[in-house]
């Protein structure tokens, strides 16, 4: 295990650019695989019908909240486990681990109840097209009722990460994702005599992939993560630990929730024009993840480097790390911008588009991608603020960009009666986010200067 950890010597002395890449690569790879299986789902489903593709877009906001609850809980769990092991408090670490497993079942029950009693109303609030409703409802009900595997998979991934076993966590994610990709056509199209289930088949493949990922993760955890043994007696709630888990993880849950609200409102705004516009919006999210996921991987490497050097009082390393982060993030975003500007027809072409979808989608990708020019800086600035104990700043920027800028802009532009105008809301919101991100990053860095200066003088 020790060989897989980034030791403090390298955190404080290795060249910042190289160190950032070293930390980021495992997460970038696993995130790209996640992006691949999300896009493959849509590619397969698009070959059934455009209505099926639109259905996945309508289910996405609720699915995103499910994932946000899982990852937010996981953030709190991994943080508490790491702290407990750092104090050599094995009892506390086991209690956190047991509480985490208990919370998986609690989250599952909560989400399953929504799937049984609320999924139908959620989908019907977004569209009047009966065929799309049926496809979306079946998909959402399956992934919610069987969501236990999602929560167990994310939980065990975080337990592996918390003890430095990031490569094993990566393999857990990748094996689950590849299983999903392989099974998709069997359940969607009915290969080998299976019933052709369409979007419901995509949901079944997703759930099986999550179950396989969870099983692999637990096997790896039991064999390799011996600092955190799991026994039936440990799986019970501890109120103090639950409060601390969600105190730490709530901002992550809230930020995912904000994204889900944004997607939900955009589906309603675009659906007022045509369901094809909703399908285009869903396809955009699938494609853009290939360029945003590496940036999020860079952020996962950026935060511990800044945090370590903040604690060590090495402000120049912090500045250089942030500069490298912005450089790498901007490069990925420029690749995305170039692809969306130069080959939008080819990107849409993998989803079996109709002429109507191409007519809406080509200008949509080109206009939305203008926001990529600013997004790299904004994302890195938000992560830097988190690492410098200014998490509230990044949360405010997220609310500003999505709730206060994007949705009102899109709604106002929709009043022109031209769906192509709605896409301008994305670069407008990103420019507003850029302004706020620059202000908050500068404020966080000035605060760091004051803190480190006071520490040096004391």
My answer on whether 58 and 137 are in the same domain is: yes
What per-residue confidence (pLDDT) applies to 90?
A: 80
Q: Give yes or no: residues 329 and 234 share one domain.
A: no
Residues 291-323: pLDDT tens digits? 998 888 888 778 778 877 887 788 888 899 999
Task: Report the pLDDT value the prediction gives residue 2, as an integer from 0 to 100.
Answer: 39
Residue 30, domain member (yes or no): no
pLDDT band at 10 (very low <50, low <70, confident <90, very high): low
Contact 184, 43 (CB under 8 A): no
pLDDT tens for residues 196-220? Answer: 999 999 999 999 999 999 999 999 9
The rounded distance, in Å, linking the Cα atoms of 179 and 127 is 32
| Residues 167 and 284 reside in one and the same domain | no
Higher per-residue pLDDT: 223 or 229: 223
Average pLDDT of the chain to the nearest whole number: 88
Supply the range of the domain harboring residue 158: 47-272
pLDDT the model gives residue 173 = 84
> Can you give the three-state secondary structure of the chain, one letter per residue?
CHHHCCCHHHHHHCCHHHHHHHHHHHHHHHHHHHHHHHHHHHHHHHCCCHHHHHHHHHHHHHHHHHHHHHHHHHHHHHHHHHHHHHCCCHHHHHHHHHHHHHHHHHHHHHHHHHHHHCHHHHHHCCCCCHHHHHHHHHHHHHHHHCCHHHHHHHHHHHHHHHCCCHHHHHHHHHHHHHHHHHHHHHHHHHHHHCCCCCHHHHHHHHHHHHHHHHHHHHHHHHHHCCCCCCCHHHCCCCHHHHHHHHHHHHHHHHHHHHHHHHHHHHHHHHHCCCHHHHHHHHHHHHHHHHHHHHHHHHHHHHHHHHHHHHHCCCHHHHHHHHHHHHHHHHHHHHHHHHHHHHCHHHHHHCCCCCHHHHHHHHHHHHHHHHHHHHHHHHHHHHHHHHHCCCHHHHHHHHHHHHHHHHHHHHHHHHCCCCHHHHCCHHHHHHHHHHHHHHHHHHHHHHHHHHHHHHHHHC
pLDDT at 455: 63
Q: Looking at the domain assignment, is residue 404 inside a domain?
A: yes
Mark whether 262 and 279 lie in a shared domain. Answer: no
Domain assignment present for 381: yes
Domain count, the chain: 2
Q: Can you tell me the distance from the alpha carbon of 94 to that of 377, in angstroms, rounded to the nearest whole number?
A: 39
For residues 298 and 382, the answer to whether their CB atoms sit within 8 Å is no
Q: Is residue 35 part of a domain?
A: no
Q: How confident is the model at residue 3 (pLDDT cuts 50, 70, 90)?
A: very low
Positive or negative torsion for Cα 23, 70, 404, 275: positive
Alpha carbons 169 and 429: distance in angstroms, whole number: 35
Are 127 and 133 within 8 A, CB to CB? Answer: yes
The top-scoring range by mean pLDDT among 154-163, 244-253, 270-279 is 270-279
User: Among 209, 243, 272, which residue terminates a domain?
Assistant: 272
**372-414, pLDDT tens digit by residue?**
999 999 999 988 887 787 878 888 998 999 999 999 999 999 9
The CB density around residue 280, as the number of other CB atoms within 10 Å, is 31
* 6 and 58 housed in the same domain: no
Whether 343 and 289 map to the same domain: the answer is: yes
pLDDT at 457: 64
Residue 167 vs residue 86, higher pLDDT: 167
Do the domain assignments include residue 38? Answer: no
Last residue of a domain, one of 231, 249, 272: 272
Residue 458: band (very low, low, confident or very high) from pLDDT cuts 50, 70, 90 = low
Tell me, yes or no, whether 155 lies in a domain.
yes
pLDDT at 354 over 90: yes
* pLDDT of amino acid 37: 74
CA gap 122, 338 in Å, rounded: 36
Distance CA 420, CA 414 (A): 9
For residues 150 and 291, what is the distance between their CA atoms, to the nearest angstrom? 24
- Beta carbons of 154 and 70 less than 8 angstroms apart: yes
Q: Is the pLDDT of residue 86 over 80?
A: no
Residue 42 lies in a domain: no
- Indicate if 112 and 7 belong to the same structural domain: no
Percentage of the chain modeled with pLDDT above 90: 57
Higher pLDDT, 365 or 244: 365
Is there a contact between 188 and 28 (Cβ–Cβ < 8 Å)?
A: no
Torsion of CA 53, 58, 59, 61, to 10 degrees: 130
User: Does residue 314 share a domain with residue 268?
Assistant: no
Q: Which of 256, 272, 288 is the last residue of a domain?
A: 272
Say yes or no to pLDDT of 29 above 60.
yes
CA 144 to chain centre: 18
Supply the pLDDT for residue 335.
Answer: 96
Same domain assignment for residues 238 and 288 = no
User: What is the distance between the alpha carbons of residues 270 and 355, in angstroms, rounded to a whole number?
Assistant: 18
Give yes or no for a contact between 61 and 267, defined as CB atoms under 8 angstroms apart: yes
Looking at the domain assignment, is residue 360 inside a domain?
yes
Query: Range with the lowest mean pLDDT among 267-271, 301-305, 370-374, 438-442?
Result: 301-305
């Amino acid at each position: 295990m020790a060989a897989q950890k980034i030791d403090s010597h390298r955190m404080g002395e290795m060249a910042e650019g190289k160190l950032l890449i070293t930390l980021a690569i495992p997460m970038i790879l696993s995130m790209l695989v996640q992006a691949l299986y999300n896009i493959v789902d849509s590619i397969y489903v698009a070959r059934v019908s455009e209505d099926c593709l639109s259905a996945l877009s309508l289910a996405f906001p609720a699915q995103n909240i499910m994932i946000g609850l899982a990852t937010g809980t996981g953030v709190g769990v991994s943080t508490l486990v790491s702290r407990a092991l750092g104090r050599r408090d094995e009892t506390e670490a086991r209690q956190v681990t047991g509480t985490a497993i208990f919370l998986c079942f609690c989250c599952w029950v909560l989400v399953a109840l929504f799937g049984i009693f609320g999924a139908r109303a959620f989908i019907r609030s977004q569209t009047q097209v009966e065929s799309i409703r049926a496809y979306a409802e079946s998909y959402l009900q399956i992934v919610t009722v069987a969501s236990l595997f999602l929560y167990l998979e994310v939980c065990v991934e975080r337990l592996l990460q918390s003890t430095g076993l990031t490569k094993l966590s990566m393999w857990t994610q990748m094996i689950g994702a590849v299983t999903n990709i392989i099974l998709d056509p069997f359940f969607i199209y009915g290969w080998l005599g299976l019933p052709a289930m369409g979007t419901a088949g995509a949901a079944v493949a997703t759930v099986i992939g999550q179950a396989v990922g969870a099983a692999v993760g637990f096997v790896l955890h039991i064999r390799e993560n011996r600092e955190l043994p799991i026994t039936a007696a440990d799986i019970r709630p501890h109120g103090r630990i639950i409060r601390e888990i969600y105190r730490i993880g709530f901002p992550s849950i809230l930020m995912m929730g904000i994204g889900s609200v944004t997607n939900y409102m955009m589906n309603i705004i675009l659906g007022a024009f045509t369901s094809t516009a909703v399908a285009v919006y869903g396809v955009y999210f699938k494609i853009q993840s290939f360029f945003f996921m590496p940036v999020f991987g860079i952020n996962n490497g950026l935060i511990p480097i800044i945090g370590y050097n903040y604690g060590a009082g090495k402000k120049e390393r912090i500045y250089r790390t942030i500069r490298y982060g912005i450089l790498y993030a901007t490069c990925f975003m420029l690749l995305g911008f170039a692809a969306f500007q130069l080959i939008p027809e080819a990107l849409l072409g993998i989803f079996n588009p109709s002429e109507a979808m191409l007519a809406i989608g080509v200008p949509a990708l080109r206009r939305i991608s203008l926001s990529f020019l600013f997004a790299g800086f904004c994302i890195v600035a938000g992560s830097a603020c988190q690492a410098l104990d200014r998490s509230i700043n990044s949360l405010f920027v997220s609310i500003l960009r999505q709730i206060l800028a994007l949705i009102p802009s899109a709604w106002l532009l929709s009043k022109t009666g031209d769906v192509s105008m709605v896409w301008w809301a994305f670069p407008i919101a990103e420019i507003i986010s850029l302004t706020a991100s620059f202000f908050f990053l500068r404020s966080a860095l000035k605060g760091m200067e004051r803190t480190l200066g006071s520490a040096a003088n004391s």
